[in-house]
Amino acid sequence: MNENWTLWITSSIMRYFDANKGTLKIYFNTEEELITNEPQYLDIKIYGPKGRQLDSRTWNLNVLINTTVNVAKDASNMYNIHTIGGKIASLFKAIPVYNSSDVIIGCLRVTHTREEDGIIQEYVGKASPSTNMHRFVIEAMFEMELSI
């Protein structure tokens, strides 16, 4: 595997979500207790890439993207978290991957998740008894092929 692929894939995913997130603030692999006074935010966790060599020059790469929408419960709009979660889920499609020269080198596409094909969306509920924050999780496995 190329030593730069992890950096390029991670930065491309963050760039993609940042450009399409709307007004949500984004955190990357953040411990929730470090976030204070945010009425709504998106936490993104990226697992991988995991590589499998297909031939002497080509690799198949898999990346699990897990996003958690965190929203303070609002009695005037109890479905707000589902609306925001749906908007984030709609972003789970082709994600361009750029190298350090800002050239597209490939595209991540949804393949499967740990449980089923496609994108998993789950309203988790209250983050903890001591908080008013509620969570909505969206995750999917992405795949791409790259050549060296």
What's the mean pLDDT when you consider all of the chain? 88
**Domain containing 104 — which CATH number?**
3.30.2000.20
Which domain range does residue 27 map to? Answer: 5-147
CB 17 within 8 A of CB 46: no
Domains identified in the chain, total number: 1
37-79 pLDDT per residue, tens: 788 899 999 999 999 999 999 999 999 999 999 998 877 888 8
128 pLDDT band, cuts 50/70/90, is confident
